[in-house]
Amino acid sequence: MTTDADIIRRSSESPRAFTELYDKYARMVFRYAARRAGDSAAEDVMAETFLVAFERRDSFDLTWDDARPWLFGIATNLLRKHHRTEAKLLRVLAKSSGRDSYADSTDRIAEQVDAAAATSAMAVALRKLSAADRECILLYAWAELSYEGIAEATKVPIGTVRSRLNRARRILKDAAGPFRHNTEEADHGRAEATA
């Protein structure tokens, strides 16, 4: 089975081989960037991520089979440049409270208002997180990286990742308090990897 390290190793002799890495992860990086900075910035972030990765492929640690933490680390650094855009988006979400969403059914209106209020509360809570805590929780939730992958992507010890995720979860849980209907948190099948 070909690993990401194999692809990057081959790309030093045959640059075209790097397209395999692009084909494998471009959509994933795009989706993550789109959630963090919107579709318009995501295309640029994705393209720049792979350009930077290609130019710096000699710096990739070939002992890692999985290149996702490395790629998401690059994408995260690029997204920091878009932080102002992200903050603006979260402010807009926080201000929106479903005022423009009217439906025929009273229950549906109530659900939409509840959902808008929950979204607003979560957006406010996300905006209030430190940048480091927000990056960790979004890399976990949206990029679906493991604790180890987040540590690699953000270049911090895994203990720091655990602390940041715990702090972010606690803050988001408190913010979601009145809106939570399900008290069980989904682990997306990563609980074993973090034990």
Mean pLDDT of 168-191: 67
Mean pLDDT of 111-127: 75
Query: For residues 103 and 117, what is the distance between their CA atoms, to the nearest angstrom?
Result: 16
**What is the structure's pLDDT at 183?**
44
Structure letter (DSSP) for residue 57: G
Residue 187: both structure tokens together:
């682990």
Half-sphere exposure for 48 (CA within 13 Å, toward CB):
15
Q: What is the pLDDT of residues 6-61, one digit of tens each?
A: 999 999 999 999 999 999 999 999 999 888 877 878 888 899 999 999 999 999 99
Phi-psi region at 38: left, alpha or beta (left = phi > 0; alpha = psi -120 to 50): left
Asked whether the predicted pLDDT for residue 160 surpasses 90, the reply is yes
The residues near 65 (Cβ < 8 Å, ≥ 6 apart) are 3, 4, 5
Asked whether the predicted pLDDT for residue 185 surpasses 90, the reply is no
- At residue 79 the predicted structure's pLDDT band, cuts being 50, 70 and 90, is confident
